[in-house]
Structure 1
Amino acid sequence: MSTPSLNDLIELGAISEAQGLRGQVKVRPHSSDPVALLSSKTVWLSLIPRRDLSLSTVSSASAPHNSKASLSEYKVKGAKMHSGNVVMTLDGVDDRDQALALKGARILVARDAFPKADKDDYYWVDLIGCHAINLQKESLGEVIDVTENGAHGVIAIGELVKKEVRYLVPFVKEVVQSVDLPNKVITLDWQLDWQ
């Protein structure tokens, strides 16, 4: 299998720590319901090589960025939830030292490997780029991002290219009237002058 580009992969979490002595890793998922992460058979880890310690006194804004992120494929031997984290066993990671070497790695999965979503359920990544309109058919902009605030999802709408947010809209059934993923259109009960 050829290495995909970062644009073809979706980041689902990051390795926060080693778990136990047998090479398991503790993953902090980006979602409160990490179904795609738990069901993945293959993951990609993105590691940015450690910088020279002599650069540690240079601010991150002015430090040179000569290092490129590496992308490594791992087969998943097992994954389970434990105390709000996902504990994964990766093929080839057999002891605590190997697991600790992966600390900080971002976990990425190919979008086509996600389980099929139920009717009226959506992967947030699929909403990004959708055109948002209101009930009066007025354009609100494009979905730039989707986040979670604890109670519900929040969609950031505005100009996608500039990443300029105009509206932060709760992703709740009272506001979201319809989601048409094939046509990339979301209809919202939202007015142009609401901030």
Structure 2
Amino acid sequence: MLKPPSPADSVVIGVIGRAFGVKGWSWITTYTRPADGITQYRQWFVRSPADGGDAGKWYRVTKFAAQSQGVVAKLEGIDDRTQAEALTGAEILVPTDALPKVAEGEYYWRDLTGCRVQHVSGQDFGVVQELLETGANDVLVVGGEGQRERLIPFIPDDVLVSINIDQRLIVVDWDPDF
């Protein structure tokens, strides 16, 4: 029997949406990029809001199907609409070691969140609170207690001078007044 993953060793890759049909299928809101990347994970830890976020259960994904509105999935042991509806809103987690390895200079958002951000002059801008996906490039939302929020474009070799995940430090060349 698989143990529940710890928060430090897992990542939320999506949320189970409303039921699809009467045979236990569910719509899936995926956080993976590309969206169909979620189909490479066949074991999900499903954490329901009804469980208070602390409990959950492992499910084997038996089938995926692409629909015009997105992806639907069938979980082993979920065989009717009522069972599928009970999972609506549940988070889908996988162990971090199941994620594909990233190439040099590429990062998972989860690895950037919480990194300290400094200007090339040494001025502290705060920590990465979250990232935003935009059409042109991703954006770091940086701030912290007593610091104003800054939106810094994620543009390597231009705005981003260096990223050291081990030291949890990102150095940027970004106007401190912006």
Q: Give the TM-score, by structure 2 length.
A: 0.80
CA RMSD of aligned residues (A): 2.7
Paired residues of 1:135 and 1:187 also in contact (CA < 8 A): yes
Please give the alpha-carbon distance, in whole angstroms, between the structure 1 residues aligned to 2:66 and 2:123: 43
Please give the alpha-carbon distance, in whole angstroms, between the structure 2 residues aligned to 1:97 and 1:45: 16
Gap change, CA 1:104 and 1:175, over 3 Å in 2: same
Gap change, CA 1:15 and 1:33, over 3 Å in 2: same
- Deviates further, 124-133 or 11-20: 11-20
Amino acid in structure 2 at the alignment position of 1:179: I
Q: 1:140 aligns with which of 125, 149, 152?
A: 125
Q: 2:152 aligns with which of 139, 162, 169?
A: 169
Give 1:127's aligned residue: 112
Matched, 1:189 2:173: yes
Amino acid in structure 1 at the alignment position of 2:4: T
Matches within 5 A, 1:9-158: 9-34=10-35, 37-49=38-50, 68-69=52-53, 70-79=55-64, 81-83=66-68, 85-158=70-143
Amino acid in structure 2 at the alignment position of 1:188: V
Q: Percent identity?
A: 31
Report the alpha carbon displacement of residue 125 of structure 1 after superposing the two structures with TM.
Answer: 0.5
Please give the alpha-carbon distance, in whole angstroms, between the structure 2 residues aligned to 1:71 and 1:167: 36
Where do 5+ consecutive residues of structure 1 fail to align? 50-66
Tell me the secondary structure at the aligned position of residue 56 of structure 2.
Answer: strand
Tell me the secondary structure at the aligned position of residue 83 of structure 2.
Answer: helix
Aligned length: 175
